[in-house]
């Protein structure tokens, strides 16, 4: 296993479409729920322990070799908002393209054939990690970190927030990211024996509702 491969996959500049998505931050900024560094930290903490935890567990399970089709269905069931399901599959498709170019793999090819319009992003992320020779812990770290780094970067653009403050938010969340990864990987290991129902189903209703409203805006900076 190459430790550097993890850096390639986790790099915010990995060309997989994330730059056009705010992870719900744009809707939260407009609603006044994010107005500065402190409320960004609250938002990220909420997203980490809900959508982030689910994504981390899905990615870890995919990296362990659990059937990605079953995981994709599990992701659907854990994403009530149709707009977020569309966004998740779009990002999955974009990640698939980048991952296949970076780490060609028969498993990625098979998933691409199964879901030509995209599987859920965390599932593709887990398989990409597997193709890169990484393990479930690495996959979960990518997913959990992404769940907070996306909104933090987007908020810098949306609020002209001081980028040092936004990075400080991410740094202070690091110990919580560690714990979410532990929980996600533990759940993923249970899936091996118990099936996908062992995956967490933590949900953030405001993220789901905000995403539905956001998808109907006529003017917006981010796709989700």
Partner 1 sequence: MHLDHNHDGRAAVSADARRPDGSRRALRIGLGGPVGSGKTATVAALCRALRDELSLAVVTNDIYTREDAEFLLREAVLPPERITAVETGACPHTAIRDDISANLEAVEDLEDAVGPLDLVLVESGGDNLTATFSKGLVDAQIFVIDVAGGDDIPRKGGPGVTTADLLVVNKTDLAPYVGSDLARMAADAKAQRAELPVVFQSLRSETGVADVAAWVRARLAAWAA
List contacts with partner 1 (CB under 8 A): 13, 15-22, 90, 93-94, 97-98, 100-101, 103-105, 109, 112-113, 131-133, 154, 157-158, 218-223
79 versus 94: smaller Cβ distance to partner 1: 94
Q: Give whichever of 81 and 224 is closer to partner 1, judged by the CB atom.
A: 224
Closest distance of CB 40 from partner 1, Å: 17
Which of 23, 184 has the CB closer to partner 1? 23
Closest distance between partner 1 and the C-beta of residue 169, in Å? 19
Residue 146 beta carbon to partner 1: minimum distance, rounded to whole angstroms: 14
Residue 27 C-beta: closest distance to partner 1, Å = 14
Rg (CA), the chain: 16
Helices (H), 35-159: 37-47, 53-63, 68-77, 82-102, 106-114, 121-131, 136-159
Our CB check for partner 1 shows the closer of 189 and 220 to be 220
What is the DSSP code string of 13-69?
TSSSSGGG--TTHHHHHHTTS--SHHHHHHHHHHHIIIIIHHHHHHHHHHHTT--HH
Nearer to partner 1, 145 or 222 (CB): 222
Residues 12, 80, 177, 127, Cα dihedral to 10°: -60
| Least distance CB 223 / partner 1 (angstroms) | 4
Give, in order, the Cα–Cα distances in Å from 15 to each of 10, 18, 53. Answer: 11, 8, 23
Contacts of residue 175, Cβ cutoff 8 Å, sequence gap at least 6: none
């Amino acid at each position: 296993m190459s430790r550097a491969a993890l850096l390639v996959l986790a790099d915010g500049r990995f060309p997989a479409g994330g730059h056009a998505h705010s992870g719900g931050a744009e809707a939260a900024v407009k609603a006044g729920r994010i107005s500065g560094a402190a409320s960004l930290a609250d938002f990220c903490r909420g997203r980490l322990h809900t959508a982030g935890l689910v994504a981390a567990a899905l990615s870890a399970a995919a990296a362990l070799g659990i059937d990605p089709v079953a995981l994709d269905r599990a992701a659907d069931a854990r994403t009530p908002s149709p707009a977020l399901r569309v966004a998740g599959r779009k990002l999955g498709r974009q990640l698939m393209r980048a991952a296949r170019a970076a780490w060609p793999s028969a498993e990625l090819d098979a998933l691409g054939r199964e879901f030509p319009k995209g599987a859920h992003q965390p599932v593709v992320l887990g398989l990409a990690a597997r193709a890169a020779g990484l393990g479930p812990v690495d996959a979960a770290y990518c997913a959990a970190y992404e769940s907070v780094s996306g909104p933090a970067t987007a908020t810098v653009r949306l609020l002209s927030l001081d980028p040092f403050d936004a990075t400080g938010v991410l740094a202070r969340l690091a110990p919580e990211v560690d714990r979410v990864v532990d929980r996600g990987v533990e759940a993923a290991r249970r899936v091996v024996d118990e099936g996908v129902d062992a995956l967490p189903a933590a949900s953030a209703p405001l993220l789901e509702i905000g995403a539905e409203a956001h998808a109907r805006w006529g003017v917006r900076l981010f796709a989700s």
